[in-house]
Amino acid sequence: MPQTDLPPFFSRTANGDLQIEQVTASAIVDQFGSPTYVYSRAAIESAFNALTDAFGERAHRICYAVKANSNIGILSVLARLGAGFDIVSYGELARVQAAGGDPAKTVFSGVGKSADEIRGALAAGIGCLNVESEAELRRIAEIASEMQRIAPISLRVNPDVDARTHPYISTGLKDNKFGIAIDEALPLYEWAHTQPSLEIVGIDCHIGSQLTDVSPFRDAAERVMKLAHRLAERGIELKHLDLGGGLGIRYTDENPPPAADWIEAIRSVVDADPLAHDLPIWIEPGRFIAGPAGALVTRVEYLKPGRHKSFAIIDAAMNDLMRPALYGSDMAIVSAGRGDGDRLEATWEIVGPICETGDFLGHDRPFELGEGDLLAVLGAGAYGFSMASNYNTRPRAAEVLVDGDTCHEIRRREPLESLWALEQVPPAE
């Protein structure tokens, strides 16, 4: 991604400083410190509205994937827009509720739901439990019966569609841990149909993340519709089709399709089928909504030029942003503000202070840099803070939501002493 190619709602001031909506990165760091995650409210709302506009009057539900960015400040923005939510733990459900989200508009995915999580979700009035194994289906039926409730369920089917994405975020192939093989789903639906504690409400599938081609979405929808017809033949009626998420974003040189193309690919299959053209379509976007809205702003601490490699050592690290170390992800890094240090032009390794060679945020980045300069890692709104850790006893970064010319601190930087607040020193003897 060229340094001049910024996401929507990010711009440059006249002196070249990075600006998020109407607030400069320098002003944010002056107020909240560094490193800091910065999000544009307008970008979040724009992405959500692009999906809403693509559906038009067609019945649908947009269930934001909470795992992408679970800050309750972000969730509250989406709840006010009318979003549903896709969760993968009871903790995420509690976050949705704390943010003002509606459990009845929430789907609970994930391969390892505990009994307590199932009980909690049913007690909260969960909209749908996306079931990922026969064992889980039977557990839900038993727990719902004990609670004298009816559990709304759909089976997450695995359509064996190659999403052509990173193997760690591909979820729709037959050798992935997720879902139930689509050719094994029919007898489980038939069994569920006989259980008074279960209500079949839909079919769910999710084939992967960071997809830059809509054809896998179309292929998956076609396979889901074949199963829907087999269910209809047996008198099993559905109330929705959940076709997952996974639309990619641009990090460097990717060219993902617009939201309208994704929705059109799905609707070209579903709306053409008389069985389903009136069924609400649910989707589960996460990265598409949160990713481009966020950046990790970091300060250059030291420059370490060398004969073979030159290192720009920043105050953010792999504990703050895991994607480059975990996935080998190539994320755009841009200048965000100038410090007072002497400047040196070189091709830099952008690395953090953690004692790991894998602690890098970018390789071979040409910059003219000085100590004290600010850099911003773009596209960091999804799977950034939500995957952060305290490795090396490093407090996690602050999070700031920019709304026009106003900043809201939606998560304070962690005080150092909070990192061991739950720990105890055992007796000497």
Residues 261, 216 contacting (CB under 8 angstroms):
no
Domain with CATH 3.20.20.10 in the chain: 42-286
* Fold designation for 10-33+293-420: Lyase, Ornithine Decarboxylase; Chain A, domain 1 (2.40.37)
- How high does pLDDT run on average in the chain? 94
Note the maximum CA span of the chain: 74
Give first-to-last CA distance, the chain, whole Å. 59
Q: 63, 205, 355, 407: which is the annotated catalytic residue? A: 355
CB atoms < 10 A from the CB of 239, how many?
A: 13
162 band by pLDDT with thresholds 50, 70 and 90: low
Q: Residue 170 pLDDT more than 90?
A: no
Q: Does the bond joining 324 to the residue before it have cis omega, within 30 degrees of 0? A: no
Read off the pLDDT of residues 359-410 as tens digits, 9 standing for 90 and up: 999 999 999 999 999 999 999 999 999 999 999 999 999 999 999 999 999 9
- The matching CATH number, chosen from 1.10.287.3510, 3.20.20.370, 3.20.20.10, 3.40.50.2300, for 42-286 is 3.20.20.10
Q: Characterize the bridge pairing of strands 374-378 and 333-337.
A: antiparallel
Read off the pLDDT of residues 6-48 as tens digits, 9 standing for 90 and up: 999 999 999 999 999 999 999 999 999 999 999 999 999 999 9
* pLDDT the model gives residue 175: 56
Mean local confidence (pLDDT), 75-84: 98
429 band by pLDDT with thresholds 50, 70 and 90: confident
* pLDDT the model gives residue 173: 47
Mean local confidence (pLDDT), 289-299: 98
Per the DSSP assignment, residues forming a β-bridge with 314 are 300
Q: Crossing angle of helices 185-193/134-147, nearest 10°?
A: 10
| Side-chain half-sphere CA neighbours of 26 within 13 A | 14
CB atoms < 10 A from the CB of 5, how many?
A: 13
Mean local confidence (pLDDT), 148-176: 71
Tell me how far apart the alpha carbons of residues 36 and 395 are, in angstroms, rounded to a whole number.
Answer: 11
Residues 161, 223 contacting (CB under 8 angstroms):
yes
Q: Residue 172 pLDDT more than 80?
A: no
Domain with CATH 2.40.37.10 in the chain: 10-33+293-420
Q: Residue 127 pLDDT more than 80?
A: yes
Mean local confidence (pLDDT), 138-152: 98
Q: Characterize the bridge pairing of strands 398-403 and 281-283.
A: unpaired
* pLDDT the model gives residue 160: 81
Closest CA to 86 of 244, 208, 287: 244
**What is the share, in percent, of the chain residues with pLDDT greater than 70?**
95
Mean local confidence (pLDDT), 243-251: 94
* pLDDT the model gives residue 278: 87
* pLDDT the model gives residue 168: 40
Q: Backbone phi, then psi, for 414, in 5-degree steps?
A: -70, 130
Residues 228, 167 contacting (CB under 8 angstroms):
no
Q: Residue 94 pLDDT more than 90?
A: yes
355 is catalytic: yes
DSSP output for 402-413: EETTEEEEEEPP
* pLDDT the model gives residue 1: 39
